[in-house]
Amino acid sequence: MSENSGLMLQKPQWKKKRKRHKKSILSTAKGTCFLCARLHNDFRQKYTEEHHILFGSGQRDISEAEGLKAYLCPDHHRTGPEAVHNNQDMRELVCRIAQEEYEKTHTREEWMEISRKNYLE
């Protein structure tokens, strides 16, 4: 009898596959709020949160894959009156800007396929 008899076999060790996150197609940098810079010419360094421009079921992954994200301060992301999660006009402004940038390298049909909405008309 071998010396390993009676021992359980070890499970193979699988490494979790890491997803590659594409850089944002918008001119945005961590620490600078995209909307503060765009609307108020305020480029000061501050705490920012990553905002995924496409929302809804499964859309976050598409936003990551296509680089459709922007860094926003909490006031423009979730808490203030100009927050994209509280203000439809602000959310649609960011979507329009994202669609314009996306269509510089893709077609309108490709945009419609991933977003299901045209923000430019």
DSSP calls for 12-38: P-PPPPPPPPPPPSSS-BTTB-HHHHH
In terms of pTM, does the model score above 0.85? Answer: no
- Whole-number average pLDDT of the chain: 87
- Kindly indicate the confidence band of residue 27, based on its pLDDT and cuts at 50, 70 and 90: confident
Strands 69-72 and 49-52 turn out to be antiparallel
Q: Where are the alpha helices (DSSP H) in the chain?
A: 34-40, 59-66, 74, 88-102, 108-115
Rounded CA separation 49/9 (Å): 45
How high is the pLDDT of residue 11? 67
Q: Which two tokens stand for residue 95?
A: 């979507």
Q: Residue 21 in contact with residue 64, Cβ under 8 Å?
A: yes
Quote the Cα angle for 98-64-28, to 5°.
50
- Kindly indicate the confidence band of residue 56, based on its pLDDT and cuts at 50, 70 and 90: confident
**Exposure of 33 in the CB half-sphere (CA atoms within 13 A):** 20
Q: Residue 75 in contact with residue 83, Cβ under 8 Å?
A: yes
Q: What is the pLDDT of residues 35-53, one digit of tens each?
A: 999 999 999 999 999 999 9
